[in-house]
Amino acid sequence: MWSGSKGVTTNAKVGEKRLPIFINRLIGLVFIFLICFTGVILGNERSRAQLPTDISTEILEIAEVFQKEKINITEWKLYGRMNVYKIRDLVTFQKELNRLKQNMGHLSWNVMEEGDQWKAVGTYYNDFLKQEETLQLITTDTKTSPSSYVLYEVTGYGWKDDAAAEIINDFHSDLTNISHENFEIFSCMVGDFSDKMKDSLQNTTKILLDSFSAQVIEEVREDNFVSVSAYTEAWDNVLPTHQGNMNLQIGLRTQGMGDKTTVIVGTPIITVEY
């Protein structure tokens, strides 16, 4: 009897020794899990922070469609336009120009007078990001009823997600430096693909329209050229036309069989020649 009781006592003591070890291991596993989980959350937040939240997402969506359809991105643009009402004469033009020079000090400026137009152009090229900036202050009808506006354009070449996110964020930051007034924003992307990889221009156009869930408003179709104005509910910025609102333009052009096809997509309109 006594031996049995001793055995029970020994097993109980072993259990008591093992319990703290088990609890410590469990706490350790929970702690490791929390560290890993926190790391994942912070990593996702950093990724989101690299991209704009509620502005200029259109260019990102266009890039996603190009990449999905294996269209090589060669060039893309963000373009802001704002009317300037306080310029009445050359003195107020120069005053506004001096303000822009101060706020956008990294630009190199060239000022010119052409007929009844005053024009100042600031430029900069960032070799690291492959980014080109152009800021223009333009006043027309200087001899009668002056009308002034600011045009700010950023051009990127090729596409890398991290660099593109930085350029887009810098673009909107610079818009704030230029003025706290609202800008009209335009987005445009240019790419190309080999004819051997794609269907006809008409079929490719349909694929792009479907990708943006867009309905055709106006279109011009030729053997080597297609131009379509369309409307998608995905984007708020719209322009009225006689046929209805539009906020998407698609242009495709090819030189012939076997040649590359150029694709241009812009919202609300295309801002490059095609």
List b or e across 187-222, with b for residues whose CB sees 16 or more CB atoms inside 10 angstroms. Answer: bbbbbbbebeebeebeebbeebbebbebebbeeeee
* Global confidence as pTM: 0.77
Residues of the chain with pLDDT under 50: 1-15, 19-20, 22-23, 26-52
**Predicted pLDDT of residue 268:** 95
**Predicted pLDDT of residue 273:** 75
**Predicted pLDDT of residue 14:** 43
* Pair 253, 261: CB distance under 8 Å: yes
Q: Using DSSP bridges, classify how beta strands 225-232 and 239-241 pair: parallel, antiparallel or unpaired.
A: unpaired
**Predicted pLDDT of residue 274:** 64
The domain ranges of the chain are 1-50, 57-267
Distance of alpha carbon 51 from alpha carbon 60, whole angstroms: 9
* Pair 148, 138: CB distance under 8 Å: yes
* Pair 55, 170: CB distance under 8 Å: no
**Predicted pLDDT of residue 272:** 83
Domain range 57-267, its CATH number among 3.40.50.450, 3.30.2030.10, 3.10.580.10, 2.60.40.1760: 3.30.2030.10
**Predicted pLDDT of residue 258:** 62
**Predicted pLDDT of residue 55:** 60
